[in-house]
Amino acid sequence: MTYEEQVRLSRYQVTADLSGNGLVTLVTDRESGLPYVRKIRSLYQPEVYDFLMWHPVQGIPRIYDKIVDGDRLILIEEYISGSSVQDVLDSGILFPEEETKRIALLLVETLRALHSNNPPIIHRDIKPSNVICCPDGRVYLVDYNTAKLVQNAQERDTILLGTPGYAAPEQYGFGASTVKTDIYALGVLMNVMLTGCLPAQKLASGHLGTVIANCTHLDAERRYERVLEVEEALKAPDDMGWRRYLLPGMRKTHPALAITLGAFYIYWLIYWLFELKPQSNSLAGNIGARIWAIAGFFSVLCISGDYLGLHKKLGFNKYEGDEKTKKIFIFDMILLGVLLLFGVLVGMIVQAIIPK
């Protein structure tokens, strides 16, 4: 440690030992009187803390200084006043569904920022004691000593880290950690908040239980691909029974709007069946035009509206934003072309069977 670094550290006075071993202490800036947290890490990935210091992320304590001292890293972090999820659970209180969903969505925002880095940064130790809830509603994900950059070429983790119960199978040498590792732990966290138990002991019920099950598959290939998918699933309406099969715009909107859209769909269906006047004198052309109009409209509508989760089934959830919209648009145009040919083909078959 250089003399200049020693001077920087000397401005912070230790006021409390938060860990009991001096590795995490509450300190006060001698000049401003503001509180900070000093952490000493012996296990860490330098690139992770470089990113966190120079690219502040909402939901992660700000790093104001970091000093390398031999094989140790000394951090001066923002002090977060609040209670951990573990503190709440230890008091015998479980979290209601809406609060669990709210906290999970805020954690998803934080993870999206980490996972969007190139290469992605994964936390690898999401658990109740590392999630801090503030009185003003903010939520922080803390403790990045096991965080790492994803190495795509790596076949399996060489150092086995993580908390039992929350660590995904790949963290025990069954594969390499990826963004799906954090998705697994997030699912376990939600289940514990709701039930007080790990998913293997007792899976939460209802819509959140389904989301949790999709987060915590032992086979990483069966989990959500990205935290964006977790966000979409959390924001989706709860199990609606038969209503889930209604057309886009009618499943989760206001009843008056759903009725209006239903009338709109029926109007166009009747129009294409009875009022459409194709520019063709042949029976094949008439039938083909009607089939193409009806099938094309409802097919494009269902794909664009993610009917029954078609985006995931068709692989569009691998993309985000404008790229995702572009992929869906291109797919819709190709589908329209295929349906047009199909409609003409059916019309020709009918013309061959039915006399003019």
Domains and CATH numbers, the chain: 3-78 (3.30.200.20), 83-239 (1.10.510.10), 242-353 (no CATH)
Winning range, highest mean pLDDT, from 210-214, 233-237, 284-288: 210-214
Amino acid, single-letter form, for residue 320: E
Residue 313 CA: distances (Å) to CA of 209, 288, 318: 21, 28, 11
Q: Which of 131, 118, 127, 226 is nearest to 180 (CA)?
A: 226
Given this model, what pLDDT does residue 285 score?
60
Please, which residues have CB within 8 angstroms of residue 188's CB and are 6 or more apart in sequence? 126, 127, 165, 166, 198, 199, 212, 215, 216
Share of the chain above pLDDT 90, in %: 48
Lowest mean pLDDT among 37-41, 99-103, 319-323: 319-323
pLDDT digit string, tens, across residues 85-95: 999 999 999 99
Given this model, what pLDDT does residue 350 score?
66
Residue 43 CA: distances (Å) to CA of 56, 161, 275: 21, 11, 73
Integer Cα distance of 63 and 328 in angstroms: 40
Q: What is the pTM of this model?
A: 0.67
Please, which residues have CB within 8 angstroms of residue 262's CB and are 6 or more apart in sequence? 247, 250
Order across the sheet with 35-41: list the strands: 12-17, 24-29, 35-41, 72-78, 63-69
In the DSSP assignment, the letter for residue 280 is -
Average pLDDT score, the chain: 83
Given this model, what pLDDT does residue 167 score?
84
pLDDT digit string, tens, across residues 290-311: 776 777 777 777 777 777 667 7
Q: Please determine, for residue 127, whether its predicted confidence score (pLDDT) is greater than 90.
A: yes
Q: Residue 331: which pLDDT band, with cuts at 50, 70 and 90? A: confident
pLDDT digit string, tens, across residues 132-169: 999 999 999 999 989 999 876 455 554 556 688 888 88
Integer Cα distance of 111 and 113 in angstroms: 5
Contact indicator for 294, 273 with CB cutoff of 8 Å: yes
pLDDT digit string, tens, across residues 208-225: 999 999 999 998 888 999
Lowest mean pLDDT among 32-36, 128-132, 174-178: 174-178
Q: Residue 269: which pLDDT band, with cuts at 50, 70 and 90? A: confident
Integer Cα distance of 336 and 100 in angstroms: 42
Order across the sheet with 139-141: list the strands: 83-84, 131-133, 139-141
Contact indicator for 319, 327 with CB cutoff of 8 Å: yes
